[in-house]
Chain A
Amino acid sequence: MNARHRLPFQAGAISVLAFGVCILSVYGSLMTGGRSDIRLSDLFAASTNGAVILDIRLPRTLVAACLGVNLGLSGLILQALTRNPLSSPSILGINQGAALGLTIGVIFPSVGALVGLMPLAAIGALVAGFMTFSIAGVFTGRIVSLRLILGGVAVGAFASAMVRFSFTLEDDLARQVLRWTLGNISDVRWHHVQSLFVWSLGGTVATLAMAHRLNLMALGEAQASGLGADPRLTLMIGALMSACLTGTAVFVAGPIAFAGLVVPHMCRFCLGPDHRILVPATALGGACLLMAADAASKWLTSPVELPVGVVVAMIGAPYFLYQTLFSKGAI
């Protein structure tokens, strides 16, 4: 990476801004919800209000933060590996595959009970990702950018068509499918935090350790092999990490679109292309985005809550459009 790469903003200003945004989103996520009588001081009170904030709101905020870390990093890795700034689980059809897995589990309760809903989601995500990459030509050695995106959209469309089939069945099934497939964290508890946190922390550390390899990869595979890092190894480890990070996120919340696209983009725009900076920045940015979205999901249509995935999509989709309309780099 070019050491003299000029940052658009001053490092100091960015840190202050990031800190402010972070505090605001934590506060927003903790202070919104069904009950309006909760104060921050209740955190230390041994009362019902204390139980609300300790048992319900705190784990929810933490889950949102972890989801943001996982999804952001997963997108960052995918974008570096495919050298395509639009790669992310939703564009590549992986999210829709996960939704299809969940739907199959809901429609056929026997399958759902046998395998479990969340493993089904992971299987769906894996199959969809595999199909997209096959279409893109990963087995012929090189990935064609536009083919990857269009293949992902086609795979995603196939999967979501089958998800929508459930809408023609019973009201109760349709309701469940909608709830699962729009990305919902309204009922998470501490055990969800436990299963996510390990992955988020481990993922951040591992991605940070890979940052140099990702930098080489983003430069181009040919150069990467010239510089002594085997691109195939990077590709394999990266794909595996990305799958694990997305999979654990889907496992807890269902598919959440666009977080993996928007956050790495914004970070790259503000901080330049060096992954050693991008990895921690993306993790932090993802956490902030999801916590802010969580706050909005509780507040926007109060007293009824929105699925958090819908809020993220309402932020992410316009950004994606803006990006395609005005980005300099052509695909």
Chain B
Amino acid sequence: MRDILIFCALTVTVVLIAIWSLSAGAVSIPWYVIGNTLFDIEGPKQEFIVFHSRLPRTLLALLTGGALALSGVTVQALLRNPLASPKIIGINSGAALAVCLLVLVLPSAGLKWLPVAALSGGLLAAALVTGSADFGRFSSGRLALIGIAVGFLCDAGVDFILATSADAQFSAPLIWLTGSLWARGWTHVQLVWPWLVILASFVLVLSFRVDLIQFGDSTATSLGVAVRPLRLILMGLAAALAAISVSVVGVLGFVGLMAPHMARSIIGGTHSRIMPCAVLIGMGLVTLADATGRAIAPPIEVSAGIVTALFGAPFFVFIMIQSGKRSQV
């Protein structure tokens, strides 16, 4: 009963945030105009702003927020560590390096291929990390460390490129680096939604198996779970979810770190409960961050990534210190 109430409350909150997101922005538009535009009713409309800017941005925020949160829960479960996140397996930094290389090789003409570069860079880094951790004796600690090292290596490459190149040509990719939904539209939504929905449903179907893997390798094996293939599949799904999201909205890393914590502290229990809850929280967080970034200092756009970092950081540290007092992971 309590669970149902929590889920209802979360869903209502996400819907309310999404609706507010449609009205928030540099140009204030009365509600009836938004309604007219959305439902094609006769009367004054704001076709571009509501329909081609705010609506796709809101949808994209919901999609990527949910995907990043789900990816975060999965990675944390696989590494059995509440401080893990998609960033830990190198996705963000790999994507960032690929984008910088793209701009270096194909200045400005290559910007169209930015999502492709980001996707392949992120997946490549994740594959490299998971592959080398799987090769030899596996331990979640080793996987995390390799991921951090690959991340630092890619970051060093990004810094090198930024330091040696003319700064002006990097203004567009730099904005992507901060995690922004600026100028995202229907093309981006259409590009990612089928993939995100399919991958997310796979993960949700596998959620009960995630619980088993959390007991530890030996326990899981004795329960008849083929640990290694399951781990690789889940890792692949989590990496794909995060990399696809990052490819369109940029480095929005903290959602994958924070949403799982919030979910755990709100609902707790098995992953079949935590995962949907985290998805809803992730959706709400990114949508709220994007809408706030648009509305806070118009006409200047503040990146959603910054808003999440700014409000998320103190909250995250607080949760971590609290949980540190309770348990030692």
Chain A residue contacts of B132, Cβ below 8 A: 325
Please pick, from A137, A157, A330, the residue contacting B328 in the complex, using a CB distance under 8 A.
A137
Contact assessment for A158 and B175 in the assembled complex, using a CB-CB cutoff below 8 Å: no
Contact status A324-B142, CB under 8 Å: yes
A179-207 residues at the B interface, CB under 8 angstroms = 182
Report the minimum CB–CB distance from B176 to chain A (whole Å).
10
Partner of A178, one of B157, B167, B178, B316: B167
Determine if B254 and A168 form an interchain contact, defined as CB atoms under 8 angstroms apart: no
Interface membership of B144, Cβ < 8 A: yes
The answer to whether B253 and A314 have CB atoms under 8 Å apart is no
**A318 engages B324 (CB within 8 Å):** no
User: Which one, B144, B157, B159, contacts A149 given CB within 8 A?
Assistant: B144
**B259: interface (CB < 8 Å):** no
Given that A158-B309, A158-B313, A162-B309 are contacting pairs, would A147 and B174 also be in contact in the complex, using a CB cutoff of 8 Å? Answer: no
Is B53's beta carbon under 8 Å from chain A? no
Bound together, the chains give a CA A310 to CA B310 distance in angstroms of 27
Given contacts A146-B81, A301-B164, A320-B149, contact A164 B178 (CB under 8 A): yes
The reply to whether the CB of B57 lies closer than 8 angstroms to some CB of chain A is no
CB-based contact B145/A304 at 8 Å: no
**Mask for A194-232, Cβ within 8 A of B = 1, else 0?**
000000000000000000000000000000000000000
Question: Does the CB pair B152–A317 fall under 8 Å?
Answer: yes
Q: Chain B residues with Cβ under 8 A from A139's Cβ?
A: 321, 324-325
- B139, B156, B305: which contacts A161 (Cβ < 8 A)? B305
Q: Identify B163's interface contact among A147, A171, A307, A330, CB under 8 A.
A: A307
**B328 touching A142, Cβ below 8 Å:** yes
Binds B, one of A5-13, A34-42, A128-136: A128-136
Q: Which residues of B contact A149 (CB under 8 A)?
A: 144-145, 148
Cβ of A18 within 8 Å of any chain B Cβ, yes or no, is no
Q: How far is the CA of A139 from the CA of B322 in the complex (A)?
A: 11
In the complex, chain B residues 160-190 whose Cβ is within 8 Å of any chain A Cβ: 160, 162-164, 167-168, 171, 174-175, 177-180
Indicate whether B320 reaches chain A with its CB closer than 8 angstroms: yes
Residue ID in chain B nearest A143 by CB atoms: B328
Contact indicator per residue, chain B 60-77, by CB within 8 Å of chain A (1) or not (0): 000000000000000000
Minimum C-beta distance from A282 to chain B (A): 21
User: Complex formed: what's the CA distance from A90 to B152 in Å?
Assistant: 9
Query: Nearest residue in A to B153 (C-beta to C-beta)?
Result: A317
Contact A153 B317 (CB under 8 A): no
Partner of B148, one of A136, A153, A162, A182: A153
Contact B149 A147 (CB under 8 A): no
A54: interface (CB < 8 Å)? no
Q: Is A270 an interface residue (CB 8 A)?
A: no
Among B78-126, those with CB < 8 Å from A are 81, 83-85, 87-88
Closest to A301 in B: B164
Does A144 count as interface, using CB distance less than 8 angstroms? yes
> CA–CA, A147 to B325, complex, Å?
13
In angstroms, Cα B303 to Cα A134, docked, is 28
- Complex Cα–Cα for A167 and B302 (A): 11
A161 x B309 contact (CB < 8 A) = yes
The answer to whether B309 and A317 touch across the interface, beta carbons within 8 angstroms, is no
Cβ–Cβ < 8 Å partners of B88 in chain A: 150, 153
Q: Given the known inter-chain contacts A135-B317, A320-B153, please indicate yes or no for A144 contacting B328, CB distance below 8 A.
A: yes
Least distance between B327 CB and chain A CB atoms (Å): 9
Residue contact A330 to B306, C-beta cutoff 8 Å:
no
Q: How many residues of chain B are within 8 Å of chain A by beta carbon? A: 57
Q: Please indicate the chain B residues that have their CB under 8 angstroms from the CB of A307 in the complex.
A: 163
A266 at the interface (CB under 8 A from B): no
Q: Are the CB atoms of B153 and A135 closer together than 8 Å?
A: no
Q: Closest A residue to B137 by CB, please name it.
A: A330
Q: A144-B329, A310-B159, A314-B160 are in contact. Are A165 and B178 (CB under 8 A)?
A: yes
Answer yes or no: B249 CB below 8 A from chain A CBs: no
Tell me whether A182 and B153 are in contact (CB under 8 A): no
Q: Is the CB of A154 within 8 A of B306?
A: no
Please determine whether B167 and A174 come into contact, CB atoms closer than 8 angstroms. Answer: yes
A140 within 8 A of B: yes
Residues in chain B near residue A306, CB distance under 8 A: 160, 163-164
Tell me if A86 counts as interface (CB < 8 A to partner B). yes
- If A131-B317, A310-B160 touch, does A321 touch B329 (CB 8 Å cutoff)? no
Chain B residue numbers with a CB within 8 Å of A91 are 148
In the bound complex, residues from chain A placing their C-beta under 8 Å from that of B254 are 157-158, 161
Question: Which of B85, B144, B149, B310 is within 8 Å of A162, CB to CB?
Answer: B310
Residue in chain A with minimal CB distance to B149: A321
Whether B269 sits at the interface, judged by CB under 8 Å, is: no
Shortest A114–chain B CB gap in Å is 22
Q: Judge whether A151 and B320 touch: CB under 8 Å.
A: yes
- Once the chains are docked, how many angstroms separate the CA of A28 from the CA of B177? 36
From A138, which residue of chain B is reached at the shortest CB distance?
A: B324
- Residue in B141, B164, B303, B320 whose beta carbon sits within 8 Å of that of A135 in the complex: B320
Residues of A within 8 A of B301 (CB): 168
Q: Least Cβ distance of A97 to chain B in Å?
A: 11
Instruction: Verify B177–A164 contact, CB threshold 8 A.
Output: yes
Bound together, the chains give a CA A66 to CA B144 distance in angstroms of: 33
Interface flag for A234 (CB, 8 Å)? no
| A310 near B83: Cβ-Cβ < 8 Å | no
A323 at interface by CB-CB < 8 Å: yes
Chain A residues contacting B213 (CB-CB under 8 Å) are: none
Residue contact A150 to B144, C-beta cutoff 8 Å? yes
B146 interface residue, CB < 8 Å from A?
A: yes
Q: Which 5 residue pairs spanning A and B have beta carbons closest together? A: A150-B83, A313-B156, A167-B174, A321-B149, A317-B156
Given contacts A144-B328, A149-B145, A321-B153, 10 further A-B contacts (CB under 8 A): A137-B325, A161-B306, A165-B306, A168-B174, A168-B302, A171-B168, A178-B162, A306-B164, A313-B155, A317-B152
Q: Could you give 20 example pairs across A and B, Cβ below 8 Å? A: A135-B320, A136-B324, A139-B321, A140-B328, A150-B81, A158-B313, A161-B253, A161-B305, A164-B251, A167-B171, A178-B163, A178-B167, A301-B164, A313-B160, A317-B152, A320-B153, A321-B153, A325-B132, A330-B139, A331-B141
